[in-house]
């Protein structure tokens, strides 16, 4: 008889994954890094870890707050994103509609999507933010190996402490199925605050429509909030956060990419001109012209 700890992951999936991956190679990599020392270096003292994040994810005790999660995440995810992990993550890159100078990747984990964003937009400043210092240590190592200049920050996606309107593009990959609905909404509100007018938010995750139809999938990967995510609507939450042009596209049927645009704001003088029958395309962008944001057609 299965015990509380004898999960679907431990009984069935873990042996399959162990057959597919090179455990000796992972062990060598794990021993090559002083995870506590490097984690302390990247850890921010003012970051409080929320209770929801301390649970088990993917059958790993303690979730992402340990080095074993950082070591095993990539080889597990490779087989958890059919038909091909790179193709799935590329769908988010392909959905970018702005020419970003500043990109923030929320819940970046080991940085797989973050690296792809930097490769797609090499001139952009790219920042990856995550609650796990161990995942960030792994992400930093991957970026170093790929010779990519990416900034890594330990932080909470729901409260980043970055200035208002400081990014052209905010992304999140495979994050929302691991957060309670209230936290999802808080992250989208934070994304709205962080974006310049005309900026874009992109969310890559599992298809909510498919997960609702195939409920048994929700029990496989030991995700404590996936049922809540499946019953929810990213589109509705984007709209509630204030985004316009909201749409979600299927990716290989079992994934989805959701997009929203922060609406441009018309200044008071422009509204007065409009009321008098003329049109003024002036944008209130919080004096961000000097930042050279291509969202406003400024390339200098």
| Alpha helix stretches (DSSP H) within 133-180 | 133-145
pLDDT digits (tens, 9 = 90+) for 251-275: 999 999 999 999 997 444 333 333 3
For residues 86 and 92, the answer to whether their CB atoms sit within 8 Å is no
- The helix/strand/coil state of 56 is coil
**Separation CA 175–CA 81 (nearest Å):** 14
Q: Sign of dihedral through CA atoms 165, 166, 168, 174?
A: negative
Question: Is residue 282 pLDDT above 70, yes or no?
Answer: no
Q: What is the pLDDT averaged over residues 76-84? A: 86
Tokens at 84, concatenated? 């091909």
Q: What is the pLDDT averaged over residues 138-157? A: 98
Helix (H) or strand (E) holding 88: helix 85-94
Question: Is residue 1 pLDDT above 50, yes or no?
Answer: no
Residue 24 has, within 13 A of its CA and on its CB side, a CA count of 0
Query: pLDDT-derived band of residue 292, with 50, 70 and 90 as boundaries?
Result: very low
Tokens at 58, concatenated? 């993917």
Question: How would you label 258-267 residue by residue, b for 16+ Cβ within 10 Å and e otherwise?
Answer: bbbbbebebe
Predicted pLDDT of residue 5: 43
Q: Give me the residues paired with residue 151 across strands.
A: 127
Question: Is residue 184 pLDDT above 80, yes or no?
Answer: yes
Q: Judge if the upstream peptide bond of residue 7 is cis by omega within 30 degrees of 0.
A: no
Question: Is residue 187 pLDDT above 70, yes or no?
Answer: yes
Tokens at 139, concatenated? 């992400």
Predicted pLDDT of residue 8: 42
**Contacts of residue 26, Cβ cutoff 8 Å, sequence gap at least 6:** 71, 72, 75
pLDDT digits (tens, 9 = 90+) for 22-74: 677 788 888 999 999 999 999 999 999 999 998 877 666 778 998 988 998 89
Query: pLDDT-derived band of residue 248, with 50, 70 and 90 as boundaries?
Result: very high
Question: Is residue 165 pLDDT above 50, yes or no?
Answer: yes
Tokens 């995942």 found at = 135
Predicted pLDDT of residue 201: 98
DSSP state letters, 174-215: S-GGGS-HHHHHHHHHHHHHHEEEEEEEEEEEE-HHHHHH-G
In terms of pLDDT, which residue wins out, 76 or 240?
Answer: 240
Least confidently predicted of 15-19, 68-72, 239-243, 277-281: 277-281
Question: Is residue 300 pLDDT above 90, yes or no?
Answer: no
- The helix/strand/coil state of 52 is helix
Query: pLDDT-derived band of residue 223, with 50, 70 and 90 as boundaries?
Result: confident
Q: What is the pLDDT averaged over residues 215-233? A: 80
Helix (H) or strand (E) holding 126: strand 125-130
Query: pLDDT-derived band of residue 170, with 50, 70 and 90 as boundaries?
Result: very high
- The helix/strand/coil state of 249 is strand
Instruction: Please give, one letter per residue, the 3-state secondary structure of 36-47.
Output: HHHHHHHCCCCC
Tokens 């990716």 found at = 251
Predicted pLDDT of residue 23: 72
Question: How would you label 18-42 residue by residue, b for 16+ Cβ within 10 Å and e otherwise?
Answer: eeebeeeeeeeeeeebebeebbeeb
């Amino acid at each position: 008889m299965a015990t509380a700890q004898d999960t679907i992951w431990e009984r069935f999936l873990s042996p399959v994954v162990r057959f597919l991956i090179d455990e000796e190679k992972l062990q060598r990599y794990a021993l090559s890094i002083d995870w506590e020392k490097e984690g302390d270096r990247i850890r921010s003292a003012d970051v409080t870890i929320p209770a929801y994040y301390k649970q088990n994810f993917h059958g790993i005790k303690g979730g992402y707050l340990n080095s074993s999660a950082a070591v095993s995440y990539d080889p597990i995810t490779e087989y958890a994103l059919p038909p091909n992990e790179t193709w799935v993550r590329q769908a988010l890159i392909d959905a970018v509609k702005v020419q970003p100078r500043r990109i923030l990747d929320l819940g970046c984990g080991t940085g797989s999507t973050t690296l792809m964003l930097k490769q797609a937009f090499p001139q952009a400043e790219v920042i990856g933010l995550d609650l796990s210092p161990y995942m960030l240590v792994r992400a930093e190592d991957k970026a170093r190996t790929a010779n990519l200049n990416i900034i890594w920050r330990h932080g909470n996606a729901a409260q980043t402490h970055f200035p208002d309107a400081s990014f052209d593009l905010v992304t999140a990959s495979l994050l929302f199925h691991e957060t309670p609905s209230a936290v999802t909404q808080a992250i989208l509100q934070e994304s709205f605050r962080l974006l310049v007018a005309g900026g874009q938010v992109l969310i890559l995750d599992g298809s909510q429509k498919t997960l609702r139809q195939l409920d048994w999938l929700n029990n496989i990967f030991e995700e404590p909030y996936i049922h809540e995510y499946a019953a929810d609507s990213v589109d509705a939450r984007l709209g509630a956060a204030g985004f316009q042009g909201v749409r979600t596209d299927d990716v290989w049927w079992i994934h989805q990419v959701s997009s929203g645009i922060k609406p441009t704001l018309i200044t008071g003088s422009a509204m007065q001109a409009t009321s008098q029958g003329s049109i003024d395309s002036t944008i209130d962008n919080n004096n961000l012209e000097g930042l050279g944001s291509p969202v406003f057609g400024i390339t200098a």
